[in-house]
Structure 1
């Protein structure tokens, strides 16, 4: 019985290392980009490419999380008392080298999947994919980590939000449309919101660790206001596209995710301690998940109905 419990804990630790609840930031953009492509007339979806893109994106996201774990430990930002979704090194004793090797292995598998995707679509995507993988590493690695600067939200949003949506769209159609770009904007904003919520929670520890995140530069209260603006702009963006650009009104299903966004802001306003605001991060991530999923579903309903 003891060995079974220890095995379960081991599996839990390795699963925890991938930070599974963050993987929606890679899954949802792939689904959304494919749904945008599907909503076009005469588009045939290649499901093999879809699943390859989906798995590759999730592997890169998981690897990026591991790079973050590794470098936060190396730079002394993670301790046993740290609050957050990391901690497999400081709390569970996983060797830093092991984490780095797993992350690089994930990158290797994603690279093989990328070769298949390029073969089925365009080899120009090889350069785009390598840039995305490089940014994933440099987000917390290298001499000037992006995550420690004011540009973390912008870069993560552009790559994980808009970038993945447009790649997922392109591999199904062979081109990019203005509508695809416009529909990817809320995804970009909400992925950035996930990063901002993380930085709001960690504002004290990050300040002590020498980071210069957006939340630190503008201050906690203003950072919460910026997060609110991210949510507001995302919803207004879709309403405007329905009113002005004529996209299907079914996309207004995204409004069903509003309670998650409101709850995130409410917690950030009422609480300050890192442990107390952890639910706000969860609600922010859920806003991104539900918003992107409902937007994709709305586009599909508009196509079929």
Structure 2
């Protein structure tokens, strides 16, 4: 069958990564595509906000969107590489791309591919800077460094209680503001406050991941917020993050900063409820996967609906 993986005749060891042909699915899974919407959503929101101000450059939007997705995908690859190097991943690990431990892709290939994605994102960043501000180069560089240091370096952010905060800051607030700024050349109060629920929900994805991996992370010396709080309190925190995101949108509409169309985000509540309930009473990682998926879907649906609500308020 075309695209079928050709298996190596020798067993795969740390010195034997010679599978000659890979199905496209191996590389697709390495990207962890379910996480890429976390890069798309903030770009879409920032760009729609700019459209409300009467400004929208399609090429800048495409460049920003592509760069954000590449940085997110590269971050996932760094995660894959460094978790393997530290012995955290094996072929039975849940929630990983599995290119190295299951498919025999050379670790160096994964690392080089991640840096290649960073390189392409940098070139796109140059184009963005040429059409906006060179200050974007500094912020973009910081974003890439944060993506690398999340699991790379001697003190990975993912091993600390600050993973959710860092992820929410960069994948929520900063990307929304960058997407808005490159279109308009300014930052507004509206662009800042609308990023808050997105930042919270991006952090919720990381929290859900850490709840699922709590026992394994604890054994490997991590100090995530889920470990510090314990399973039950971490699930309560996750539920609170969902609640705050929806209440925040109500407050923005009540204060007149956004139209009632923004409340269309409430259509995503069933996914948030499913995520919260899905973690309760579960301790085995595979049992918590549906809740983990529902958490990511909450961010995706909430974000798309928010962008849609902003667009409808502009059109109508």
Interval containing the TM-score (normalised by the shorter chain): over 0.9
| Number of residues of Structure 1 aligned to a counterpart in Structure 2 | 302
- Whole-Å Cα distance in 1 between the matches of residues 116 and 190 of structure 2? 36
1:76-155 aligned at under 5 Å gives the runs 76-155=87-166
1:249 CA displacement: 0.3
Q: What does residue range 128-207 of structure 1 map to in structure 2 within 5 Å?
A: 128-207=139-218
Q: 1:24 aligns with which of 12, 25, 37?
A: 37
- Residue 283 of structure 2 aligns to a residue whose secondary structure is coil
How many Å separate the matches in 1 of 2:52 and 2:144? 29
1:86 is displaced (CA, Å) by: 2.9
The alignment status of 1:38 with 2:51, answered yes or no, reads: yes
- Confirm or deny: 8 A CA contact 2:261 2:310 kept in the other structure: yes
Measured in 2, the distance between the counterparts of 1:146 and 1:86 equals: 20
1:71 maps to what in 2?
82
Larger mean Cα displacement after TM superposition, 51-60 or 75-84? 75-84
**Aligned twin of 1:293:** 304
Deviation at 1:4, TM superposition (A): 3.9
Rounded to whole Å, the distance in 2 between the matches of 1:254 and 1:243 is 15
What is residue 238 of structure 1 aligned with on the other side? 249
CA drift of 1:292 comes to 0.8
Runs of 4+ in 1 over 3 A off after TM superposition: none
Cα RMSD, aligned residues only: 1.2
Name stretches of at least 5 consecutive residues in structure 2 with no aligned partner: 7-20
Aligned match of 1:216: 227
Query: Residue in 1 aligned with 2:5?
Result: 6
**TM-score normalised over the length of structure 2:** 0.93
Aligned to 1:6, the other structure's residue is in SS state coil
Tell me, yes or no, if the aligned pair for 2:190 and 2:257 is still in contact at 8 Å: no
**TM superposition shift of 1:246:** 3.6
Distance in 1 (CA, whole Å) between partners of 2:179 and 2:257 is 23
Structure 1 unmatched runs, 5+ = none
CA distance in 2, matches of 1:202, 1:236: 29
Asked if the contact 2:31–2:77 (Cα under 8 Å) also holds between the matched residues in 1, the reply is yes
Alignment deviations for residues 34-54 of structure 1 (CA, whole Å, 9 cap, x no partner):
1111122xx220000000000
| Residues 29 and 98, structure 2, Cα contact 8 Å, conserved in 1 | no
* Candidates 248, 263, 269, aligned match of 2:274: 263
Which residue does 1:249 correspond to in 2? 260
Task: After superposition, give the CA deviation of every residue in 1:50-92 in whole Å (9 maximum; x if it has no partner).
Answer: 0000000000000000000000011111012222223211111
CA–CA distance in structure 1, aligned partners of residues 4 and 86 of structure 2: 33
**Bigger mean CA deviation after superposition, 187-196 or 74-83:** 74-83
Q: Which has the higher helix share?
A: 1
Structure 2 distance, partners of 1:209, 1:6, is 33
Q: CA deviation at 1:109?
A: 0.2
Which gives a bigger RCO, structure 1 or 2 (Cα 8 Å, sep 6+)? Answer: 1
CA displacement, residues 153-182 of structure 1 (integer Å, 9 cap, x when unaligned): 000000011110110000110000011100
CA shift, 1:32, in A, is 0.6
